[in-house]
Chains A and B, each alone.
Chain A
Amino acid sequence: MTTPIATSQTILVVGGGISGMTAALEAAECGKQVILLEKSPTLGGRTSLLYRYFPKLCHPVCGLEINLRRLKGNRNVRVITMAEVTRISGTRGNYTVAAKVSPRYINENCTACGECARAVSAEIPNPYNYGLDQMKVAYLPHDMAYPLRYVLDPSAIGTEEAGKAQAACKYSAVDPGMQEEALELTVGAVIWATGWQPYDAAKIQPYGYDRFPNVITSLEFERLCDPHGPTGGRILRSSDGKEAKNIAFIQCAGSRDENHLRHCSRICCMASLKQTQYVRDVYGEDGKSTIYYIDIRAIDRFEDFYQKVRKDPTVSFIKSKVARIAQESKSGDLILHGVDTEGYHRYANTHDLVVLAVGMAPSVHGADIPAEIVADSSGFLEPGSGIFGAGCASGPLDVNRSVQHATAAALRAIQVINQNSNAEPAP
């Protein structure tokens, strides 16, 4: 890998999800030099793992495609994947950033022909489907992957699998001898866009995510409904492979809870409302969705979408946080216990599948960011003077608001660079 040129005129963007890509592109299109570091082998982040967006139910592929096209056409952005920042020192306008780049074991010669994946036989859980299925140790993360280049998993190195992949490649792209590299960059401003991760649902003990196979997270449900997902878009239960038609959605699974996440994750209500429409798409009038909620927080213009779903006869709403889930051992069906707030009726409702609308936790907790930053009690970044949070690193946001937030962060970073170039002649 050639070392990128970085100066105090350069903006570093950490994280290549929708926020990081947006921030990098907005700055680059203003003529600034940008380095975009991404920890995983591909850009796109969590957005590329969604089936559809609310409220228009369009596909994320569309927005990503536009961004990737902008990226390919821009000479000011240098993208480095599999790179992780280990330390940021310095002050506003003058930062030294250390990063390590993990080996991909497949170099730039790769044409994404897929011969290596066909040659190897070892499999690992597929993180791009939240472990719902397996993938080969030589893999392309997903169809929208950028760079469009295969990856050889480290578990294959030192085994005969690496040799098989190497032998199958006609372009000598497979290189099992590739080593980890260290990077040191001088930059003027940092945009921190490391995004979010779903809250660990197993920690919500009464819901039995770790005990009951038919209790899944909302992220896993996205993959189930996606035609490119592990089930080809069919909503199948993992216990018996049957189609789930009577589905419960539990809101605030982890969010708004002093024992878990203190904050409201803001997107989960809309995500569940959206997912009831997936169920309708698959089954029509035969599907049944039930949303268990404390209160529906469909913010501002999303109220229309909420009202639309409210009118849908296949969707019912129960105002109650479910207290406990039990599993019927024979059928694998789940029984939800609780008391509703509208009348205080005790219920024990049976459902085929339970989807936990899990909350958003920062991907990198504020305390673990290797730089001097200020974070809130949930670990989200507070506004800084030279290191700027963008998107979900700064708080729970949907895609639309992440893009807005990232654009704002790009503007702040540009201000730092402009002050730098006014103070000293451009190199």
Chain B
Amino acid sequence: MSELNIKYHNDFLKEVEENVEEGKWVKMCMQCGVCAGSCPLGPHWAHPPQELFMMVRAGKRAEVLGSDSMWMCTSCYNCVVRCPRKLPITQIMHGLATYSNQLGLTPKIQPTRDFSILFWKNCTRTGRVNELKLTLGLYFMDGFMAGIKKGWAMRGIGLGLVKAGRLNAFELLKGHVCKDQKGIRAMLNKAAEIEQRRKRPAV
């Protein structure tokens, strides 16, 4: 493959349509800009959805999949309800993010991705989210000392939660779990199998 081909992958739109959730809608965008203007986090994105769609169609594969724009989506659905062509923009943003992660093209330090992985591991381990472990995991994401500092800063809220009976320190040891551990595992394995069947191997 020549250098030009790597940079401007000509079949990128097709690739997105086949591999990204709701990717078939990308070609329907008419570039009106309502999504970009309606996004509450709009000013903080490098590329608003409208621009991402145009980049997909222009074949800018590395720039799209390496972008952290789609990771900024908070699923408020403002763009989806206002889009004059009813594109499922939120879903496409998450689809692009997931696909980029699968291919390992996501920028190295991407807090949204890192938290998503943390959350997924946490809730699939026992079938229930262990909030204490999740919170501590989030605190210590940036290293041991940073975690201690954050925990110390939040100690007031933590103690308040313990007093109100909303937080149990023993959750740290085992925590409450789903009764049917086997069933949860079987369900997740089946879902992964279906997903694998549906998706073609990554290009």
Contacts and interface: CB of A to CB of B under 8 A. Distances in A.
B104 interface: no
Interface string B45-61: 00110110000000000
B143 interface: no
Interface string B61-83: 00000000000000000000111
B32 interface: yes
Contacts, number: 61
A58 B37 CA distance: 38
Contacts of A257: 84
Interface residues of B, number: 20
Contacts of A341: 31-33, 50
A191 B82 CA distance: 38
Contact of B30 (A294, A337, A339): A294
What's the interface size class on A, roughly? Answer: 20 to 34
Given A339-B42, A344-B51, A258 B84 contact: yes
Interface stretch (A95-103, A104-112, A126-134, A317-325): A317-325
Given A320-B32, A323-B38, A339 B48 contact: yes
B43 interface: yes
Query: B36, B43, B50 — which one has the most chain A CB atoms within 10 A of its CB?
Result: B36
A415 to B, nearest CB: 40
B34 interface: yes
Interface string A307-337: 0000000000000111110000000000001
B185 interface: no
Contacts of A252: 32, 84
B34 A344 contact: no
A206 B30 CA distance: 19
B37 A323 contact: yes
Contact of A206 (B32, B36, B82): B82
Q: Is the interface of A mostly helix, strand, loop or mixed?
A: loop
Nearest to A323: B37
A259 interface: yes
A30 to B, nearest CB: 44
A295 B51 CA distance: 17
Given A294-B31, A339-B42, A321 B48 contact: no
A340 B34 CA distance: 9
A346 interface: yes
B37 A338 contact: yes
A323 B82 contact: yes
A256 interface: yes
B38 A206 contact: yes
B86 interface: yes
Contacts of B38: 206, 323-324
Contact of B36 (A256, A258, A259, A323): A323
A337 to B, nearest CB: 6
A257 B30 CA distance: 11
Interface string A290-315: 00001000000000000000000000
A341 to B, nearest CB: 5
A337 B48 CA distance: 14
Contacts of A260: 84
Nearest to A257: B84
B80 to A, nearest CB: 11
A339 B45 CA distance: 12
B70 to A, nearest CB: 15
Query: A321, A322, A324, A346 — which one has the most chain B CB atoms within 10 A of its CB?
Result: A321
Query: A252, A258, A344 — which one has the most chain B CB atoms within 10 A of its CB?
Result: A344
Nearest to A262: B84
Interface string B6-47: 000000000000000000000000111110111000110001
B85 interface: yes
Contact of A339 (B36, B83, B85): B36
A206 B82 CA distance: 9
Contacts of B31: 294, 341
Query: B34, B47, B51, B82 — which one has the most chain A CB atoms within 10 A of its CB?
Result: B34
Contacts of A344: 36, 47-48, 50-51
A350 to B, nearest CB: 16
A294 B32 contact: yes
A301 B183 CA distance: 69
Contacts of A338: 33-34, 36-37
Nearest to A260: B84
B109 to A, nearest CB: 25
A322 B82 CA distance: 11
Contact of B33 (A206, A256, A258, A323): A323
Contacts of B50: 339, 341, 344
9 contacts: A256-B30, A320-B32, A321-B37, A322-B37, A323-B36, A324-B37, A339-B37, A339-B48, A344-B48
Interface of B: 30-34, 36-38, 42-43, 47-48, 50-51, 81-86
Given A294-B30, A320-B37, A344-B36, 14 more contacts: A206-B38, A256-B84, A258-B84, A321-B32, A322-B37, A323-B37, A338-B33, A338-B34, A338-B36, A339-B37, A339-B42, A339-B50, A340-B33, A346-B42
